[in-house]
Structure 1
């Protein structure tokens, strides 16, 4: 082990000889020092890993010394040692970001524990996390071989996310690679599971998860009451792990009542999945019942322009037109700020729906902007980017206002996204849809092993654009590429976040109910 250098400041340092000897036997290097003034001079020309600081000293007091140390070396951990248990001293010390607080008399083991806590903390956590995951790895591998229900898939996916977020802070890259291969294997098995079971989920009496078109009926409406206004936020493109990344920020203002997962319909794309949430219908039924509001892939114009009309029609069908509702779509910061400014007026509505498009912009612009591409080249970076966006977003301001005004908060999304790594060749005519994770059109040629196919879209309640149209959905982390201009296309889209296909990341998504603190 490298020597750890400790600066110990105490006007009675001679009485601490036994402590210092104890630490030196443990291979720590201790520089003793009798006053704050002397310590500050030493700090000007010597680097230390940690400082032990007596609070009660003549001349420069411990708190004054602490203040001066922090001005010189903001990140240097300082452990305050004091005889006094007076609250104001503790508060002052904590306010100055001390690393630890010990009450005299201290024994050598307390000192050792404080050193380990502050200097070995990340190594110890790293080792513990690694060994815990190694045990869990075998269990996940066994579970993967046995999974037979959608509930087990949700549990397994949540477990993978948990470990991914535990492992992201440790130095052991090999563990992360093992987890990545486990995620890939999970997605391979999940693709087979969806291929086999998805069409049956639409049959009456089948054990099926809540899907996009049932979300309102199954999960949203039971939460709405006339006694408390409800804010439903649908964040476009939000993966489960991204929700987990900013959940701690939301927890400052709201306490979680429940967290459920539900499944996005296929294609896991905005015009299908989000319209299904608002209309309470599958796309084939939207086309039939609302031909004026539904647009197919090949139609011109925006595909999500009528969410509010869809919602009104759904509430009427469910016999809840008594609810006073308001719908907003936020597509840029200016929209968001306007909504924040008018937020107080929403208290009179039973349900306020806010569709928040920012994560969508973030992930799509990732292909347009090299800067964003660099900021989010993998899932860890993408979570971090989502978190810093959320901290500075108008959405957080709305959540804070919602808490102050007593709103219940429902948070969800329409589908997730996946980082695509490998191309799969596809050939179609000029009317084939453009999405990278699903295609619909006539006479599609594709690699069978790479896709889930719906030769007859009606079996999964999707509209057929022509009599012979079919749908194909990319599995795992694949994306579709045309043979012409293949190399340019592949290098442009590889490592970008896309959606529309079949993966745990795109299909298993959160629905969270929270109450104001």
Structure 2
């Protein structure tokens, strides 16, 4: 690797001889000159990694030299060195995109730190991140053998996401592979945990997590009050890692009061999980108590048309009829923009609920559109696409308006999604449901090791389409495929985002409360 090459511009360069010798001993190449115009000439003929530039020189001033350098080589880092602490000079220099700012007299260690900060920063961060994850890797591996409660699983999953986001910025493919293998192992163990415990969560007095059907009563109601309007945003299909990359954007407007993980019910699909949030009921009870609103998989027509009705009935059941509540569902850009325009009128509601259907559409269009397949080829790209949408969405505008109007903000989702990689053969009759991560129907044939099955849907509060119906849920990153036209089907759906089954990504999801800054 060639040495780092520095151009140092100072009309009193002879006084800096000790600094230059110090840097040369550290294997830096230093070229010196005494004026701005000389520096511009040198930069026309030689390549440098960084420039140290004195601000106060006869002839071209430091700021004038800086502007000329930036016109020629916008990406060349320039460190400004000045005697003056005058604010306007600092502001001018910072506005002109300097890399760093040092005040004379400078000592050699300051110079060294500035070099490391500007030239070695990504390498140093990368090395530190890698060594930290290597230590944490052993701890996570140990935790994986011992984790045995829903709280511990939520904590472990959040830890895996933290490291995924840390490692995504460094180009260390080896480390990323290790993390991916840990996530795979975690999902295998999580599947076993759910198989053993899920049905028990519905037994009276059993220690169960907050789930879709208890979220409103347990977590949302305690946040509501007549003194402050609340905006509840349910972003369909928002994974925990996507929420973590949305967070810094929202932090510009809101401060976070609390963040908790809760569990989506099974199937981790909108018609089940989101209806459960709004009704406060499990699907089996929705079918029984509200046959006019509930539709099973095989029924004709939209499955999520009655969320507002479900919410109204839950509010009544909880004795909260004194609260004024309004429900909006956004499924396209036009309705999103319209709600932004009329947002002020929501200030008089105690609770405004906005269901936002974009991330879900993104995952479905990834399946159907080649261009989105290309743009969201893996989790990192999928996150990036979701963030890009969020920054430019009516939803973000709504959040900004809510902050200006003093709304409390609650952000959550109905379930997550997983990138499916491996097919699992399943055979069923023509009344079998179509979802790729769960199936319900009678006389299903499948590979036992790939699924969690509930032969009696009532045990997990799910409806039975007919007397002998059962439910099966895909584990890890599997997706169900029928034997006929198998190869075409598998290549079409492999590496797409699906939900409905059992994985950390689908089941452990965020609930976040904010107050305006």
Structure 1 length normalisation: TM-score?
Answer: 0.99
- The RMSD of aligned alpha carbons is 1.0
Q: Which residue of 2 aligns with 1:493?
A: 493
Which structure 2 residues correspond to residues 58-137 of structure 1 after superposition, within 5 A? 58-137=58-137
Q: CA deviation at 1:158?
A: 0.5
Q: CA deviation at 1:170?
A: 1.2
Distance in 2 separating the partners of 1:437 and 1:8? 62
Q: Which residue of 2 aligns with 1:184?
A: 184
Distance in 2 separating the partners of 1:8 and 1:304? 66
1:238 and 2:238 matched: yes
Q: Which residue of 2 aligns with 1:334?
A: 334
Distance in 2 separating the partners of 1:44 and 1:406? 55
Distance in 1 separating the partners of 2:19 and 2:378? 47
- 1:414-457 alpha-carbon deviations (Å, 9 max, x no partner): 00000001000011111111111001111110000000001110
Q: Report which stretch shifted further, 312-321 or 381-390.
A: 381-390
Distance in 1 separating the partners of 2:73 and 2:219? 52
Q: CA deviation at 1:483?
A: 0.8
Distance in 2 separating the partners of 1:484 and 1:370? 24
Q: Which residue of 1 aligns with 2:418?
A: 418
Between the two proteins, the alignment pairs up a number of residues equal to 517
Q: CA deviation at 1:8?
A: 1.3
1:436 and 2:436 matched: yes
Distance in 1 separating the partners of 2:60 and 2:205? 78
Distance in 1 separating the partners of 2:177 and 2:426? 30
Q: CA deviation at 1:473?
A: 0.3
SS at match of 1:294: coil
Q: Which residue of 1 aligns with 2:405?
A: 405
Distance in 2 separating the partners of 1:383 and 1:328? 25
- 1:397-425 alpha-carbon deviations (Å, 9 max, x no partner): 11111111100000000000000010000
- 1:73-129 alpha-carbon deviations (Å, 9 max, x no partner): 222211111101112211222222211111101111111111011111111111111
Note the residue ranges of structure 1 that are not aligned, 5 or more in a row: none
Distance in 1 separating the partners of 2:334 and 2:58? 57
Runs of 4+ in structure 1 deviating by more than 4 angstroms, as ranges, are none
Q: Report which stretch shifted further, 86-95 or 344-353.
A: 86-95
Distance in 2 separating the partners of 1:507 and 1:94? 46
1:49 and 2:49 matched: yes
SS at match of 1:207: coil
- 1:157-194 alpha-carbon deviations (Å, 9 max, x no partner): 01000111111111211111111111011000000000
Note the residue ranges of structure 2 that are not aligned, 5 or more in a row: none
Structure 2 length normalisation: TM-score?
Answer: 0.99
Distance in 1 separating the partners of 2:445 and 2:26? 69
Distance in 2 separating the partners of 1:45 and 1:23? 23
Q: Which residue of 2 aligns with 1:516?
A: 516
Distance in 2 separating the partners of 1:280 and 1:193? 25
- 1:202-254 alpha-carbon deviations (Å, 9 max, x no partner): 11101000000011000001001100010000000000000001100100000
Which structure 2 residues correspond to residues 365-514 of structure 1 after superposition, within 5 A? 365-514=365-514
Q: CA deviation at 1:41?
A: 2.6
Distance in 1 separating the partners of 2:67 and 2:341? 40
Q: Which residue of 1 aligns with 2:310?
A: 310
Distance in 1 separating the partners of 2:73 and 2:308? 55
Q: CA deviation at 1:392?
A: 1.0
Q: CA deviation at 1:38?
A: 2.1
Distance in 1 separating the partners of 2:73 and 2:204? 67
